[in-house]
Amino acid sequence: MLSAGLGRRSCRSSRLWRGLCPAAAGGGVSPRCPRALSAAPASLRSGGGARSGGGSPAGAGNVKPLDGVKILDLTRVLAGPFATMNLGDLGAEVIKVERPGYGQTGPMIQRGGYDSIAAAVSGLMHITGHEDGEPVRSGVAMTDLATGLYTYGAIMAGLLQRYKTGKGLHIDCNLLSSQVACLTHVAANYLNCKTEAKRWGTAHGSIVPYQAFKTKDGYIVVGAGNDQQFVTVCKILNLPEVSKDSRYKTNTLRVQNRKELIEILSTRFSGKTTMKWLQLFEGSGVPYGRINNMQQVFSDPQVLHNGLVMEMNHPTAGRIAVPGPAVRYSEFSMSQPKPPPLIGQHTVEILKGILGYKDAAIEELLSTGAVAQHEVR
C-alpha cells in the first residue's frame, strides 16, 4: 500500500510498501518515528503551498535550496527518515520506500540496524550511566539521530558533487559507523593511550567540576572549564577557602581529588533552591543550567524564541504541535508547517500524479488490496 512518509511538516513525501516494490522489505510506522509524519507532495494536494519540492513560483521570496530536488528514500524506522525529514525542510520532494539495513558491506550486513543494538556494539552504552552503575541507553535514539544527520550532510555533499562533476555517487551511512565516529575524545584516548573508557554519570572524565548537583528542589549542571571559573564557582558558593586549597588549585589536581571536592560542593548546592542558584550564577561567566523536564523545556523563553514549537491542524487529531527545526536561515523560513498525513491518505494522488498510473489500473490495485486509500473526513 502507499502511505505518508516519515518526516516533519514541510517534507513532501510518500511511502511505497512492497506491494508495489518487491525489492522493499516493508513494515509499518515505527513508534520511534521522527516527530511527525511528512506531508505528501504539495503539487498533488489540495491547498498545498510552496513548502518544499517542485520549485517555487517565479519571484517567490521563500525559495529553498532543495526546491525541485526529488529524493527516493529506501530507509525505515528513524535514522534515514530523520535525514530526509531535514532534507524536506529545505525543499526536497521525498518518495519513500521502506526496507531494513546494517551497512552495505561487511560481516554484519544481514543484521537489522536498531539504535539500541548499535549503541551497544559501538561502545556508547559502555560509557553512559552512573559511575558504579549498569550501562544505560540514552533517553532518545541518539545513534539513529546521529546517523540521520550524517546522511543529511552526505546527501548535501552528493548534490554539490553532482553540480561540480555532473556525476552522482553512492553514499553508505550506517548506525555503527556513525556512532563510532561520534566517540571523539573517548575513542582517541583509547586508540592513542590504550585508556579504557568508563561511565561518569553526569560528570566529565577530565574536567572537575563539570556535572549535575542536587539542589534543594531539583538539579543544576555547573562546569568550571578553567581555573578562573573554578574560583568564581567557589565565590558564588561562598567557599573561598576551597579555591585556595592546594589540592584544588589546578584542574589536574581537581581531577585527582575529585571525590573530596565534589562532596564539598554537593553539600553547598543542596542548601538552596535551583532558582536561587540560577540567580546567583547569572552573569558570572560560568557555564550553568538547570535540568529541565519537558514542561520547563517548552516554556523556556530561549526555546520559544528559537521557534522550536510549531503548531498545525491535523485532519483527524485536530491542533497538534511538534518540535521545530534546529537551524534557521536568513533567506527562507520554515513557516506554514504541514500536518503529518494519514497512512494511505495520498495513495491515488501519488499513483496518478507521480507514477503515471491510469484510472483503470488504480482501481484494480485498490480492488485487489495491493494498495489502500485512506479517506479523510
Q: Residues 74, 98: contact at Cβ < 8 Å?
A: yes
Angle at CA 192, nearest 5°, toward 187 and 197?
40
Query: If you ran DSSP here, which 8-state letter would residue 316 be given?
Result: T
Tell me if residue 115 is catalytic. no
Map grid coordinates 563539570 to a residue: 210
Burial class (CB in 10 A: 0-12, 13-18, 19+), 359: exposed
Q: Residues 199, 129: contact at Cβ < 8 Å?
A: yes
CA 80 to chain centre: 11
Q: Give alpha helix (H) positions in 75-141.
A: 79-89, 115-121
| Catalytic, out of 73, 144, 172, 227 | 144
Amino acid letter, residue 34: P
Distance between CA atoms of residues 191 and 286, nearest Å = 32
Distance between CA atoms of residues 95 and 44, nearest Å = 13
Nearest to 91 by CA among 107, 67, 121, 60: 67
Q: Give alpha helix (H) positions in the chain.
A: 79-89, 115-121, 142-165, 175-181, 184-193, 227-236, 240-244, 251-256, 258-269, 274-281, 294-297, 301-305, 347-353, 359-368
Query: What positions carry a catalytic annotation?
Result: 144
